[in-house]
Amino acid sequence: MFDKNIYQKRRAGLLDKVDKGLILLLGNVDVAYNYKGNTYAHSRQDSSFLYYFGLQQAGLAALLDVESGAITLFGDDLTLEDVVWMGPHPSLAELASEVGVPQTATFAQLAPQLAKAKSAGRPIHFLPPYRYRNMLLLHQWMDIPVDDLSKKASIALVKAVVSQRSHKGPEEVAEMEKALAVTAEMHLSVMKGAKPGRTEAELAGLAEGIAASHGGYLSYPIILSINGHILHNHDHSNVLKAGDLLLGDFGAETASCYAGDITRTFPVGGTFSAQQKAIYEIVLHAEMSAIEACRPGIRYRDVHLQAARNMAEGLKGLGLMKGDLDDAVAQGAHALFFPHGLGHMIGLDVHDMEDLGEQYVGYTDSVHRSDQFGTAYLRLARELEPGFVFTVEPGIYFIPELIDQWRTEKKFEAFINYEAINPYRHFGGVRVEDNVLITESGYRVLGPPIPKQVEELETL
């Protein structure tokens, strides 16, 4: 938890940004695993609630009155029976005082306050819910069908929260550096442990254990696979063989819930084949050039397209692409190999604020989402500003199903040499990813360096 002044300043900033009415911020509760009393071991507070209140406890909510400036924290103290099973916990009043909130009330007092505001015709601003318990509460309180809650969420509140959370303060950057220090330890251990005969599951368990041993957890489910071409592959059932290309995309979340998100790809047994090395170096070059292009004012979509162009050029050098590459990228032919976006904001969420709507986080009134396959998946397209932290993660993948479909459709035959792709059919995928902060004059790559040059990886 940060100093209470930080939360007070953030809440004052939020109250300034919303015109009128009540702002309702809901915390999370623990989620049942297989029956009510057996919850997931890792509980997770809502990130916006955490941003404004810093409290990790389950079952909290807050109301901020835009007109009066009053802020109330709602929750319930533990009963004696709770204490028998769970031990003593700070009271609600103690929690509130730690983060500078003067007023508390029981959770049951929240519904009547909302009902009163509703009957007085005051707007009640709430964020799009993603947990079922909060959906049900909002449905009951606001009398809105569950399926319409996201549509009825307050755009004014979403925009206000996004404008604050998008610019990371030095205290947040310091937490992200900590997340990345743990993430580096996870990646180095996996690299050193990736020997023929070991399983993906053993290495995923090793990485998860390191994250947990630092008092936090994972910032998202581990992707660690010899089938790196399956973008969000959470299967860990393979045994590693010498020469397999292993893609590891995983990161730690600190105890304060700031995320790291790093990808490295390397050969099991320590030596790249000529084919692997050629593709790897194209991706690495695209990643490093994209990072170098980052500065305030540049549109991230332009950095994405630059990376796509760079990789298309490398693929043309290998004979896999052909023709005019500006046209190829403009038409989206590169997406056969690079079907995702270059990166996303990161902070309290690995895809930061994705629950609030990517159109408000990564896009603006003048920067709209493309509907072209590949670029449509870009989560961040807008102009970069100092304080933004985001990922840079180009990749090249050989996805047999996609290749077959495009080939059958004779898609982009002017730009893609389908015959030349055959020897790469079982290649898998390469992605390289780092986390970057925009400074006043340029960028800074966050976290300790994690090996990514071919020689470094082979030596390790």
Q: Which of ligand GLY, Mn ion, none does residue 253 bind to, with CB < 5 to 8 Å depending on kind?
A: none
Helices and strands counted in the chain (H then E): 17, 17
Beta bridge partners of 264: 248
Of residues 200, 249, 358, 434, which one binds ligand GLY by CB under 6 A? 249
Of residues 130, 217, 220, 373, which one binds ligand GLY by CB under 6 A? 220
Handedness of CA 309, 314, 320, 321 (dihedral sign): positive
DSSP annotation string for 423-460: GGTT--EEE-BEEEEE-SSSEEE-SS----SHHHHHH-
154 vs 391 by CB, closer to Mn ion: 391
- Residues in 1-20 at the binding interface with ligand GLY, rule: CB under 6 A: none
Q: Which of Mn ion, ligand GLY, none does residue 360 bind to, with CB < 5 to 8 Å depending on kind?
A: none
Residue 355 interacting with ligand GLY (CB under 6 A): no
| Residue pointed to by tokens 């966050």 | 446
329 vs 350 by CB, closer to ligand GLY: 350
Q: How far is the CB of 379 from ligand GLY (least distance, A)?
A: 8
Q: At 262, list the tokens.
A: 């790093």
Q: How far is the CB of 222 from ligand GLY (least distance, A)?
A: 9
Q: How far is the CB of 125 from Mn ion (least distance, A)?
A: 30
Nearest CA to 380 out of 301, 291, 450, 288 is that of 301
Residue 261 interacting with ligand GLY (CB under 6 A): yes
Q: How far is the CB of 219 from ligand GLY (least distance, A)?
A: 8
Beta bridge partners of 199: 239
Instruction: Give 422: exposed, middle or buried? Use CB within 10 Å, 0-12, 13-18, 19+.
Output: exposed
Residue 435 interacting with Mn ion (CB under 5 A): no
Q: Which of ligand GLY, Mn ion, none does residue 220 bind to, with CB < 5 to 8 Å depending on kind?
A: ligand GLY
Q: How far is the CB of 377 from ligand GLY (least distance, A)?
A: 10
354 vs 458 by CB, closer to ligand GLY: 354
Q: Which of ligand GLY, Mn ion, none does residue 392 bind to, with CB < 5 to 8 Å depending on kind?
A: none
- Residues in 252-281 at the binding interface with Mn ion, rule: CB under 5 A: 261
157 vs 249 by CB, closer to ligand GLY: 249
253 vs 261 by CB, closer to Mn ion: 261
164 vs 219 by CB, closer to ligand GLY: 219
Read off φ and ψ for residue 438, nearest 5 degrees: -85, 125
- Contact at 8 Å (CB) between 336 and 420? no
Instruction: Indicate the DSSP class of residue 18.
Output: S
56 vs 391 by CB, closer to Mn ion: 391
Q: How far is the CB of 248 from ligand GLY (least distance, A)?
A: 11
Q: Tally the C-alpha atoms within 13 A of residue 93's C-alpha that lie toward its C-beta.
A: 0
Residue 391 interacting with Mn ion (CB under 5 A): yes
- Contact at 8 Å (CB) between 361 and 353? yes
Q: How far is the CB of 82 from Mn ion (least distance, A)?
A: 39
27 vs 429 by CB, closer to ligand GLY: 429
Residue 233 interacting with Mn ion (CB under 5 A): no
- For 310-345, give one letter per residue: b (16+ CB within 10 A) or e: bbbbbbbeeebbbbebeebbeebbbbbbbbbbbbbb
Q: How far is the CB of 381 from Mn ion (least distance, A)?
A: 15
Q: How far is the CB of 364 from Mn ion (least distance, A)?
A: 21
- For 277-296, give one letter per residue: b (16+ CB within 10 A) or e: eebbebbbbbbbbbbebbeb
- Helix (H) / strand (E) element for 73: namely strand 71-74
- Contact at 8 Å (CB) between 434 and 289? no
Q: How far is the CB of 10 from Mn ion (least distance, A)?
A: 25
279 vs 350 by CB, closer to ligand GLY: 350
21 vs 341 by CB, closer to ligand GLY: 341
- Helix (H) / strand (E) element for 5: namely helix 4-17
User: How many residues touch Mn ion (CB under 5 A)?
Assistant: 2
Question: What is the contact surface with Mn ion in residues (CB under 5 A)?
Answer: 261, 391
Residues that bind ligand GLY (CB under 6 A): 220, 249, 261, 350
